[in-house]
Amino acid sequence: MGLGARIGVDVGGTFTDVVLALSDGRIHVNKTTTTPRDPGEGVAAGVAEVLKESGLDPGAVAEVVHGTTVASNTILQKVGARTGLLTTRGFRDVLEIGRIHTPTAR
């Protein structure tokens, strides 16, 4: 299999989802339990499983994209450590977006 495979990972509060997209258009998907004490364990297990399922050598992976809803959920649930936010000019709307005050479509 050629180079150019891509892996996408989303770590959620309950599940970690991994998608392997091969250069020929095929995809392999894995859903594993998130490991809260070390989210990397769930990521590694999911990546290993899609690579095994596809028979792809890890060296053929050109890109890994990672996202998480864990941080978003922490903010929305107002749990976790107290934090502050510093922004630069042009990013003042970050606070409104964080409070879910976004313009509505008309």
The CA distance from 36 to 39, in Å, is 5
pLDDT of residue 1: 42
Judge whether 98 lies within some domain.
no
pLDDT at 27: 96
Q: How many Å apart are CA 23 and CA 7, to the nearest integer?
A: 11
Residue 68 in domain: yes
Please work out, in degrees rounded to the nearest 5, the angle formed at the alpha carbon of residue 27 by the alpha carbons of 33 and 8. 50
Share of the chain above pLDDT 90, in %: 52
* DSSP-derived 3-state class of residue 52: helix
Domain count, the chain: 1
pLDDT averaged over every residue in the chain = 85
In this structure, what CATH number is given to the domain that contains residue 25? 3.30.420.40
Q: Which domain holds residue 9?
A: 5-77
What torsion, rounded to 10 degrees, do the Cα atoms 30, 34, 37, 40 define? 30
Does any domain span residue 103?
no
Instruction: Give 71's pLDDT tier (boundaries 50, 70, 90).
Output: confident
Residue that wins the pLDDT comparison between 93 and 3: 93
Could you tell me what percentage of the chain is helix, strand and coil, using 3-state DSSP and rounding each to the nearest 5? 30, 25, 40
Q: Report the sign of the C-alpha dihedral through residues 68, 74, 80, 81, in that order.
A: positive
